[in-house]
Amino acid sequence: MYKKMSKQTIIRLSDGFGIPKSLTNPDYQKYLKWLAEGNIPEPVDPKPLEQIAAEELAEQKKTKRLANKINNFSFEDIKTYIDSKIPPDGQTEQINDVINKLAELIKALS
């Protein structure tokens, strides 16, 4: 029997051995055969609520720091940044990249 510890890590429950995902690994081959026989590994343990809350709080703080930093930019700062990122030949892909970054900044502010 096996248990997923993450998307990349599989543990064999009989001995706690971590099985690397490699088609040349005999233990991984046995795991794949076990799956093919219709078996299902135990799922990844859910994150504790405290960890989820801490991660969300950290993300909120990061967004707030970014928003505060952006609020200090003047129109001229933003225009200078855009002008420095758009190549003289006006390559569409790079222009779209700048526009997407600006959209992310605007979203962070709202």
For position 76, what pLDDT does the model report?
74
98 touches 86 (CB < 8 A):
yes
pLDDT digit string, tens, across residues 17-38: 999 888 899 999 999 999 999 9
Strand order through the sheet with 10-12: 2-4, 10-12, 17-19
Sorted by where each begins, the domain ranges of the chain are 2-36, 49-109
The pLDDT value recorded for residue 90 is 58
Q: Is 110 exposed, middle or buried (0-12, 13-18, 19+ CB in 10 A)?
A: exposed
Q: What is the pTM of this model?
A: 0.44
